[in-house]
Amino acid sequence: MRLQIESIRVGYDDKTIVHDLSLQIPDGKITTIIGSNGCGKSTLLKAITRILKHEHGQVILDGQNISELKTKELAKKLAILPQTPESAHGLTVEELVSYGRFPYQKGFGNLSQKDKDVINWALHVTKTDEYRAQTVDALSGGQRQRVWIAMALAQETDIIFLDEPTTYLDMAHQLEVLELLRELNEKEGRTIVMVLHDLNQAARFSDYIVALSKGHLVKFGTAEEVIVPEVLQEVFHIDAVIGKDPRTNKPMCITYNLLQTT
């Protein structure tokens, strides 16, 4: 395993959000983190990618503690698409995607031919090259999300983190983004780690699922191991009925009720 999380503890001010959590991220697979609001999903993602400093434990990437890696060195190994990317006001699609080449540039040098080739490739595989000259502001939500993914791809990292990449998108655009990520995983061999709210999407598109509750790891495994009534009861406090998706044969949450509290 290239990426290992060892007993990390993360918090804000005096409140601990993630409690001594250990996890190994499988190489070349899609791993999805699920859990209720406020359980620590995004916090865990930010700690793994060094956006947030952890109080205890360590994150090991390729045998090195990520806290000891230089920023550009780390940016060549992993990319992250946050839940709400910073505004790209006034930037064209091509300009935004070119920012992914920052880790490879020295000073404020111009883009090399290799940089341009990678940018063109990222635009092509995300099907965003047709509007490369348009401003990002002028695009639909689904198109913008694909452009941000293209920027992450331009970093040429083997590992890509995405925090709720389907947020604010309609059903068709959600499916479009998730199918793109699966294609990148299958054809390019990228390791994908993402946070999703939709359990059925998580089951359909993930090789492995991490289920969190109140900052603790409840279950790590395949969809068949995690999307089960007992785990969902502990994680979401629901009484779920689980069936099988007739198209994918993956587990599917058909319906659920809130657990009765006494």
- Structure-block tokens of residue 136: 């990002």
Contacts of 101 (CB under 8 A, 6+ apart): 111, 115, 118, 119, 154, 155
pLDDT tens by residue, 128-145: 999 999 999 999 888 999
Cβ atoms < 10 Å from Cβ of 188: 13
What percent of the chain has a predicted confidence (pLDDT) above 90? 90
Domain boundaries, the chain: 1-77+158-224, 84-156
% of the chain residues with pLDDT over 70: 98
User: Which stretch of DSSP H or E encloses residue 73?
Assistant: helix 71-75
Q: What is the mean pLDDT of residues 157-164?
A: 96
Question: What is the chain's mean pLDDT, rounded?
Answer: 94
| The one-letter amino acid at 88 | A
Q: In sequence order, what are the residues at sequence separation of 6 or more whose Cβ sits closer than 8 angstroms to the Cβ of residue 150?
A: 93, 97, 100, 122, 123, 125, 126, 128
Within 86-140, where are the H helices?
93-98, 113-125
Res 108: pLDDT? 62
Residue 17 reports pLDDT greater than 80: yes
Task: Indicate if the pLDDT at residue 248 is higher than 80.
Answer: yes
In this prediction, residue 107 carries a pLDDT of 65
Q: Is 261 helix (H, G, I), strand (E, B) or coil?
A: coil
pLDDT digits over 83-133, tens only?
877 767 899 999 999 999 999 987 666 899 999 999 999 999 999 999 999
pLDDT attached to residue 179: 96
- For residues 201-225, one letter each, b for 16 or more C-beta atoms within 10 angstroms of the residue's C-beta and e for the rest, the string is bbbbbbbbbbbbbebbbbbbeebee
> What is 1-77+158-224's CATH number, 3.30.200.20, 3.30.479.30, 3.40.50.300, 3.30.530.20?
3.40.50.300
Report whether pLDDT(164) > 80: yes
Distance CA 201, CA 257 (A): 19
Average pLDDT of span 78-83:
92
**Does residue 262 surpass a pLDDT of 60?**
no
Angle at 113 between CA 90 and CA 124, to 5 degrees: 60
Cβ pair 146, 177 in contact under 8 A: yes
Furthest C-alpha separation in the chain: 66
Amino acid identity of residue 186, one-letter, is E
